[in-house]
Amino acid sequence: MKRYLALILIIIFPSLLKSQTLPPDGFFQEDSVQIGAPFGFALSLTYNAQEQVLFPDSNYNFKPFDLIGKNYFPTKTLNGISKDCVVYILETFKTDSIQKLSLPVFYIRNGDSLKIYSQPDSVTIIQNIKTLAGQRLLSDTQYSSVKRTINYPLILGVAAIVFFFLFLFYMLFGKAIVRSYKLYVIRKAHLTFLRNFEKHEKEFKAENDPDIVERALNLWKIYLTRLENIPVNTYTTTEIIDLYKQEDLQQGLQDIDRAIYGGLVSAAPTRSLTILKKFTNKRFLEVKNKLSNV
C-alpha cells in the first residue's frame, strides 16, 4: 500500500522523484508454469528522466531460471518522469515447487552504478510426475560391480587399417588432388583479375583519368606477383622490361608511365592496358601448363 501511495505522490508531484531512488517493480506474468515451458517476468521502473538507468541484459545471471529472450517497450516520459519496462522470457528445469526471482536495475551516477533490486516474486512449478497413491514401490539397492576394460588390440587394429587406407589413398590420388587444387586456385585468381582489370579499362575509356591507369597497373603487378611467385609489385618499369624482354610489353609499360607521370593521356594507354591483359593471359597459360604436366 505504501508503495502504491509513493507512486501516486510522484505522479502528482514529479519533483519528489529527484531526491528518491526507487526500486523497480518485478513480477511473473503467470502464477504457475511447467518445467521447460517459456514464461514472462516483467520488470518496470519509474524514475527521473535525467537519470541514466540500465536493465539486466543477457549476461546477467537469472538463476534459478534460464533467459531465452526479452521484449523491450519504448520509454514513456511525462513531466520529467520516465517509465521503462522489459519482459524477460524465461524457462526453468528446476523441480522446486516454488521458485523466486528478484531483478535489479542499475542507476549510473558519476561513473559508478547503484544496484537496486525489485521485491522477490514467486511462481509455482507444475509437477508433471505425480505420486501413485496406494502403490508400493520395491527398491533394489544391491550394487553389482562391472569390470570396465578397454580393447586396446581392437583400437590399434582399427587405427592401423585406417592409416593404411589413408596412406594408400594419398599415394594413388594425393598428387592429382594437390595439382587439381592448385589449378583451381590459379584459375579463380585469374578470373578475378580479369574481371577487376576490365572494370578499370571501362572506367578509363569513360573518364580518361590517369589515376585509373595507375590503379590498373598496380592490380596487374600484384597479380603477376602471385602468379609468378616473384616480387613484380616492387619492380620498376625498367626492371620488369629486363625480366620479360618483350617489345610490346615494353612499349605498353612506357606509354602507361607517360600517362601516369607526364599526364599524356591519349589512345595509347587504352592499347597499353590491352597489351598487359594479353601478356597476363599468356603467362597464365604457361603456368597452368606447367602445373598440368607435373
| 128-138 pLDDT tens trace | 766 555 566 66
Indicate the pTM of the whole model. 0.44
Beta pairing partners, 71: 87
Residue-by-residue DSSP string for 243-280: HH--HHHHHHHHHHHHHHHH---SSHHHHHHHHHHHHH
Are 118 and 44 in contact by the 8 Å Cβ rule? The answer is no
Q: Which residues contact 43 (CB under 8 A, 6 or more apart)?
A: 24, 25, 26, 55, 56, 85, 86, 87, 88, 103, 105, 118
| Spatial distance between the Cα atoms of 44 and 37, rounded to a whole number of angstroms | 23
Greatest Cα pair distance in the chain: 104
Q: Which of 252, 255, 276, 250 is nearest to 265 (CA)?
A: 255
Task: Give the pLDDT confidence score for residue 55 in this predicted structure.
Answer: 94
Is 219 within 8 Å of 197 (Cβ atoms)? yes
Amino acid 264: pLDDT: 66
Q: What is the mean pLDDT of residues 100-117?
A: 91
* Residue 12 reports pLDDT greater than 70: no
Q: Which residues, other chains included, contact 227 with Cβ-Cβ below 8 Å and sequence gap of 6+?
A: 186, 189, 190, 280, 283, 284, 287
Percent of the chain with pLDDT over 70: 87
Return the minimum-mean-pLDDT range out of 99-103, 148-152, 183-187, 240-244.
Answer: 148-152
Least trusted range by pLDDT, from 17-26, 57-66, 117-126: 17-26
C-alpha cell at position 100: 523466486
Distance separating alpha carbons of residues 28 and 125, to the nearest angstrom: 12
**pLDDT for position 25:** 93
Specify the DSSP element, H or E, that contains 178: helix 152-207
**Which range has highest mean pLDDT (139-148, 180-189, 252-261)?**
180-189
pLDDT category, 140, cuts 50, 70, 90? Answer: low
pLDDT at 251 over 80: yes
Reply yes or no on whether the pLDDT at 9 is more than 60. Answer: no
pLDDT at position 257, please?
Answer: 86
Q: Report which DSSP code applies to 233.
A: G
HSE toward the beta carbon, residue 284, CA cutoff 13 A = 20
Split at pLDDT 50, 70, 90, the class of 32 is: very high
What pLDDT score does 277 carry? 92
Chain mean pLDDT for the chain: 85
- Identify the band that residue 44 occupies on the pLDDT scale cut at 50, 70 and 90: very high
Mean pLDDT of 157-179: 86
Residue 21 has pLDDT above 70, yes or no: yes
Question: Higher model confidence: residue 47 or residue 1?
Answer: 47
Q: Quick one: pLDDT band at residue 10, thresholds 50, 70, 90? A: very low
Range scoring the smallest mean pLDDT among 97-111, 167-181, 207-221: 167-181
pLDDT for res 6: 46
| Candidate from 14-18, 40-44, 143-147, 279-283 with smallest mean pLDDT | 14-18
CA distance 267 to 277: 16
Q: Tell which wins on pLDDT, 178 or 124.
A: 124
Let me know: does 32 contact 124? Beta carbons within 8 Å.
yes
CB atoms within 10 A of CB 232: 19
Which residue would you say has higher pLDDT here, 17 or 262?
Answer: 262
pLDDT of residue 178: 84
Q: How far apart are CA 236 and CA 47, in angstroms?
A: 69
Q: Does 13 have pLDDT greater than 60?
A: no
The phi and psi torsions of 21 (rounded to 5 degrees) equal -120, 100
Q: Residue 145 carries which side chain, given as an amino acid letter?
A: S
Give the confidence band of 5 by pLDDT, cuts at 50, 70, 90: very low
Q: Are 11 and 20 in contact (CB under 8 A)?
A: no
CA angle (166, 172, 173) in 5-degree steps: 85
